Structure 1
Amino acid sequence: MAIPKNIILVIIGFVVTLFSIVLATPGTATFYTNYVPSACYGNKAQGTRIAAASDSLWGGGKICGKTFNVTCTGPTNPVPHPCTGKSIVVKIVDHCPGCGGTLDLSKEAFSTIANPVAGVIKINYVQ
């Protein structure tokens, strides 16, 4: 008896999702609104699905241009339920020394995954 293709696709999707959750790294995210100039691309705009990397990720700029799938996992302050349930892929375009989070997302990227009123959120990210 053959297994229907749609069942196989659901199983594969579940395994891939589970695998990516296991590989996700926890951190925190903040947001910023001034997108240029950046440490990676100077005055060349890179859109709004962007982020700046904290000192712990920066690695002397080796992270420039890398992309991360970022998901809000919860609040870091009294704002209840800040997460939208969505994820976003962002490109690292800048360095944020002392920014207070692992990733400093553009306001548009932050707003996709969380309520900006929260200011700082818990995240999981996967490169």
Structure 2
Amino acid sequence: MSFLTSFFYKTLATASACYGNTPQGVMIAAASDPLWNNGAVCGKTFSVKCIGATNPFPHPCIDRKTITVKIVDHCPGCGGNLDLSKEAFALIANPVAGIIKIDYQEL
């Protein structure tokens, strides 16, 4: 497993860097520059688990649950982050937290 921080974004009916206008569901994520690797990460799946808070929001994690997300987009300038869809984020953490620490592993 590797450690990152995670944000969430609203999934909209907009094009993704990997799949254009073809919807990929809601269990999706955008890869930051270090993970992007010129798009080589497109379509890969990752297990993701919330491991703690990055800000004063207490106990954001939901029962250490692990989810699986598919990389569908690029998040340039996001640093070492995996940007989860709001739906995926909400399954592992309280969205009010905004940013969380995660463990992730490519499947």
Find the aligned partners of 2:77 and 2:95 in 1 and give their Cα distance. 20
Find the aligned partners of 2:77 and 2:55 in 1 and give their Cα distance. 19
CA shift in 2, pair 1:100/1:117, >3 Å? farther
The structure where helix makes up a greater share of residues is: 1
Find the aligned partners of 1:102 and 1:64 in 2 and give their Cα distance. 15
Task: Please say if residues 90 and 109 of structure 1, whose CA atoms lie closer than 8 Å, have aligned partners that are also in contact.
Answer: yes
Find the aligned partners of 2:77 and 2:11 in 1 and give their Cα distance. 16
Find the aligned partners of 2:102 and 2:92 in 1 and give their Cα distance. 9
Q: 1:30 maps to what in 2?
A: 7
Find the aligned partners of 1:113 and 1:42 in 2 and give their Cα distance. 27
Q: 2:77 maps to what in 1?
A: 98
Listed as ranges, the matches of 1:44-63 within 5 Å are: 44-63=22-41
The structure where strand makes up a greater share of residues is: 2
How far the C-alpha of 1:98 sits from its partner, in A, is 1.7
**Normalising to structure 1: TM-score of the pair?**
0.79
**Normalising to structure 2: TM-score of the pair?**
0.93
For residues 31-56 of structure 1, the C-alpha deviation after alignment (integer angstroms, 9 at most, x for no partner) is: 00134310000010000000000001
Task: Please say if residues 18 and 72 of structure 2, whose CA atoms lie closer than 8 Å, have aligned partners that are also in contact.
Answer: yes
Q: 2:67 maps to what in 1?
A: 88
Letter in 1 for 2:99: V
Percent identity over the alignment? 65
Letter in 2 for 1:112: L
| Count of residue correspondences | 104
Structure 1: 4+ residue segments shifted above 2 A: none
For residues 73-115 of structure 1, the C-alpha deviation after alignment (integer angstroms, 9 at most, x for no partner) is: 0000000000002111000000001235510000000000000
Task: Please say if residues 30 and 100 of structure 1, whose CA atoms lie closer than 8 Å, have aligned partners that are also in contact.
Answer: no
> Which structure: larger Rg?
1
Letter in 2 for 1:121: I
